[in-house]
């Protein structure tokens, strides 16, 4: 009888340990998901994160069986958080040589075209990067765009926290040029009923956007996200999401 009771106690104890380990493992698999006010890929609407890159995340969550909230922060704040806190992912983040060892990467999400934009009818002419250095350029602080310009020797930069501020500065002639990706400039002009106010005058580069994870995020989480995204790309889900927003030209082959 005593032996039977001991066996029951052992079984119960083992079961409780397994449950505890299971819950612990589940908690570790959770991540804080943050994005920026970066239309057309992500933006806040009625207090909720929306946009194609957000939709892709939701499909990833469904496939790996998680349901974390997606928070929208100004870019500089989100960029600071993902560098300092473990188990955080920030999107959409341009993957560059300078950032390569700063994060763990999942992607690609889309491909962007980065250009200098001027007010329509402007007499500014640019044939190379050197030509642009004499102008005051609007750019988001701590963004890939600012980092690129500084790396290439640009000094005359007007820094903002969100991209729409550059659009409004350009409208009021407070900056000469706006350096951003063409999809975002078009989306913001449509949002503020300023279609055609600015025009692309020089294409600088094309880059791909990714989900950037803090370096202390477990590899198991990063692998799950990448496998899920690979599946979504293979099945055409990512392309269909971009088509829904009429952004299929941004699909990264």
91 and 121 both lie in a single domain: no
Cα separation, 217 vs 197, in Å, equals 43
90 and 214 both lie in a single domain: yes
- Is residue 72 within 8 A of residue 35, CB to CB? The reply is yes
**Domain span at 58:** 31-110+210-250
Residue whose structure tokens are 């407070």 = 174
Phi, psi (deg, nearest 5) at residue 74: -60, 145
The one-character DSSP state at 181 is E
Tell me the pLDDT band of 42, cut-offs 50, 70 and 90. very high
Residue whose structure tokens are 């692309």 = 200
Question: Which neighbouring-strand residues pair with 205?
Answer: 114
116 and 203 both lie in a single domain: yes
For residue range 170-214, what is the model confidence (pLDDT) as tens digits?
A: 999 999 999 999 999 999 999 999 999 999 999 999 999 999 999
Phi, psi (deg, nearest 5) at residue 161: -95, -25
215 and 141 both lie in a single domain: no
Q: Is pLDDT above 60 for 7? A: no
Total domains in the chain come to 2
User: Does the residue 1 lie in any domain?
Assistant: no
User: Does the residue 76 lie in any domain?
Assistant: yes
Cα separation, 47 vs 29, in Å, equals 26
Tell me the pLDDT band of 28, cut-offs 50, 70 and 90. very low
Domain harbouring 84, CATH code: 3.40.190.10
Cα-based distances in Å from 89 to 45, 157, 237: 21, 28, 21
- Predicted TM-score (pTM) of the model is 0.77
């Amino acid at each position: 009888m005593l032996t039977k009771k001991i066996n029951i106690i052992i079984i119960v104890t083992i079961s409780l340990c397994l449950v505890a380990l299971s819950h612990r493992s589940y908690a570790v698999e959770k991540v804080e998901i943050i994005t920026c006010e970066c239309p057309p890929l992500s933006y806040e609407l009625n207090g909720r994160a929306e946009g194609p890159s957000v939709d892709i995340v939701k499909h990833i969550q469904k496939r790996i069986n998680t349901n974390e909230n997606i928070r929208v922060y100004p870019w500089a704040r989100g960029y600071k958080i993902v560098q300092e806190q473990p188990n955080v992912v920030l999107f959409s983040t341009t993957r560059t040589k300078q950032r390569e060892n700063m994060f763990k990467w999942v992607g690609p999400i889309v491909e962007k075209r980065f250009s200098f934009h001027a007010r329509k009818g402007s007499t500014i002419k640019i044939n190379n990067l050197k030509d642009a250095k004499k102008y005051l350029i609007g750019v988001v602080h701590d963004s890939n765009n600012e980092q690129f310009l500084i790396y290439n020797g640009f000094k005359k930069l007007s820094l903002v926290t969100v991209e729409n501020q550059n659009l409004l500065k350009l409208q009021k002639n407070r900056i000469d040029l706006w350096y951003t990706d063409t999809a975002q400039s078009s989306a913001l002009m449509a949002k503020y009923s300023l279609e055609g106010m600015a025009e692309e005058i020089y294409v600088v580069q094309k880059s791909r956007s990714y989900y950037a994870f803090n370096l202390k995020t477990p590899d198991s989480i990063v692998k799950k996200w990448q496998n899920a995204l690979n599946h979504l790309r293979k099945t055409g889900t990512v392309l269909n999401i971009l088509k829904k927003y009429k952004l299929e030209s941004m699909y990264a082959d």
